[in-house]
Amino acid sequence: MRKKFKRLKWIFGVLVGSFFAIGCLIGGVYLLSYIMGPPPLSNQQNTVYYSNDGEIIGEESGSESRHWVELKAISPFLIDATLQIEDQHFYEHHGFDYKRIMGAIIKDIKSLSLKEGASTLTQQYARNLYLTHEKTWLRKIKEAFYTVRLEMFYSKDEILEGYLNTIYYGHGAYGIESASNYYFEIPASELTLAQAAMLAGIPKGPTYYSPLNDIERATKRQQHILAVMRNEQVITESEYKEAIEEELTYTAKNENEEVIGAHFQDTVLQEAAEILNLDVEAIRSGGFEIHTTLNRDYQQQLEKQINQTVRSSSEVEVGVLAIESNTGGILAMSGGRNYSESPYNRTTQAKRMPGSAFKPFLYYAALEKGFTPTTELMSEPTVFQLENGEEYKPSNYNGYYANKPITLAQALALSDNVYAVRTHLFLGVDELVDTARKFGFTSPLPAVPSLALGTAAVSVKEMVAGYAMLANGGYDMSPHTIKKIDNANGKTVFEREETLGKQKLDEKKVSVLNHLMTGMFDSQLDGYMSVTGSTISNRLTRIYAGKSGTTNSDSWMIGYCPSLVTGVWVGYDDNRPMEAVAEKSYAKSIWSQFMETAHKGLPNEAFDMPAGVVGVPVDPSTGQRATAYCDTSRVMYFEKGTEPQIHCTDHVYEENGAKDEEGMLEKLFDLFR
């Protein structure tokens, strides 16, 4: 009995001591809060973006986009909608909703994370003004401290007014007055119930719930808010129905018209949030200095060339990405023709079929399995009998075929589909999927015969990253926009190491494939049709490797030199076919103009030629070593020991003598020497 009493006494003592300690802690917090006095109700810290040469390319809006208005100048609908969706007990608590907090703590403990939130408006206001959005216990303690100070020195109306004037509503608009003007071109006092509910839903995730980015998602959230207001009897059933039926018209102005690389800056914002594990809103208003990879000259030239190439009357969209192949730094980006009309980024968010632009990954797999540039397969109309009993009949462009065996070099230069499918089925359909994964593809890739012809939907970013691994000799790399981030105090919180990744591809096979991919611009490989780059080859002043791709609704051109790879996609957002001849040429035109401008005045670059790779003159029509009597001759590169040993005997001495083998031959020898 005595032991039980002692135990109860001990437990009681622990509880009393705990409560006393907690009481002292809380008392200390309130005493310190009182001593420090009221914190300011506004705090502007703009995040600045810099190009790779240290020049400012973007800055979050300052005072001109943060218009402070009194609470009485804000629509009651907006106030009610915000309170109902964010903090229904705002006027009842003293900064903390303990019931919600306990529920969130229990869920956090169960999940061993800090994902659940139970923040009141006061807590959100404190975090937005004075703290980061980092999900750590230290930040939560600091947040509680500032929450106490706000509640201690300001009235509820003052706190609510401050919150509504500083919260971020997307597209550079801070505060409800700026948001109301930006989205609807009216003051906050004139917002209708439907408009207010739409705006009240945005702060939870401005990127995701902006009606200008995703009208369907934004509308669902608006309707949810209206339903909550109705259920809580804040609005009547008739008001609810009227608001649901109201059609909203947006009058957002293009605030990014003069911005350098608006889509690029959006990507920087998202990347910074991921790097620092912060909310996007915390990055926007956190006072960071973000040093990016953007080359201003490249970006401005790219935008200029898109505008000059694509007819203003055309509705096609464009996605262009240029990256530094060794580091993965994105040097220029265009996610679409008009950011104000569509901030949707077609280089990172869209998934489209690349067509024949996917073939280099197939032919890398073929080289791994013993193919060489002179490996011959038949080019003729073919019906392939598949293992499941089905038939597959690919066709070449315009129904043209060699109707005889052609080499891998010519098949790639002419983009022969039958050759590609033969290769794909010979290797096994899983081989291309596995190889594409080596090149960094994460999109779903069905192991089917048509994958050889690029029928899987992938992003421009994936395609360009894959080509960059060829340009850099087979090293892993990840496209990125950020080099360094400094916080508001000038401390560097992130700095990227600009080094090559791991060697993931065989350097010899990469070298052979790089040379094969110069063939699309070389008329020496003309066969039953001209090489696919013939329409732009006369515009090029140096050797590039590349591949084009075409589907009914997509046009691609991706090409590179050792240091720079650029990919261009052109098509309609709704996947309708491109029927205008001019539209089908846009991708190649934009690519050639951009690459030539980017390299103007720079010395020629040579692709790495690793030991064990040799170049020999080859007759493209026979795949044998060329002689002085062959009509055409092209230097092709092979892994030593796989080069052709037999000289061509199809051509004999002509009276006029041997043909001049200089020109392209010498240029190629110089390039790969």
Closest CA to 506 of 328, 324, 367, 673: 367
Closest CA to 343 of 267, 412, 408: 267
Among all chains, which residue has been given the structure tokens 């914190």?
Answer: 39
Closest CA to 129 of 99, 152, 159: 159
- Three-state SS for 492? strand
Q: Tokens at residue 332, please?
A: 């220029």
Q: How far apart are CA 323 and CA 327, in angstroms?
A: 8
Parallel, antiparallel or unpaired: strands 330-334 and 317-324: antiparallel
How many other CB atoms are there within 10 angstroms of residue 506's CB atom? 16
The order of strands in the sheet holding 317-324 is: 330-334, 317-324, 564-571, 554-560, 545-550
DSSP designation for 639: E
How many other CB atoms are there within 10 angstroms of residue 406's CB atom? 27
Half-sphere exposure of 354 (CA within 13 A, CB side): 30
- Active-site position among 356, 379, 459, 633: 356
CA distances from 55 to 51, 271, 441, 588, 636 (A): 5, 20, 33, 31, 44
- Active-site position among 86, 324, 431, 462: 86
Closest CA to 446 of 463, 429, 461, 459: 429
Contacts of 341 (CB under 8 A, 6+ apart): none
Whether 356 is a known active-site residue: answer yes
Q: How far apart are CA 523 and CA 638, in angstroms?
A: 20
Whether 86 is a known active-site residue: answer yes
Among all chains, which residue has been given the structure tokens 């005493």?
Answer: 31
Element (H, E) at 406: strand 404-407
Half-sphere exposure of 2 (CA within 13 A, CB side): 0
Q: How far apart are CA 121 and CA 119, in angstroms?
A: 7
Q: How far apart are CA 526 and CA 515, in angstroms?
A: 16
How far is C-alpha 319 from the chain's CA centre? 11
Q: How far apart are CA 454 and CA 469, in angstroms?
A: 19
DSSP bridge pairs for 289 = 48, 486
Q: Tokens at residue 280, please?
A: 């996007």
Q: How far apart are CA 282 and CA 127, in angstroms?
A: 9
Closest CA to 360 of 420, 294, 318: 420
Q: How far apart are CA 546 and CA 591, in angstroms?
A: 10
| Cβ proximity of 145 and 33 under 8 Å | yes
| Active site (catalytic) residues | 86, 356
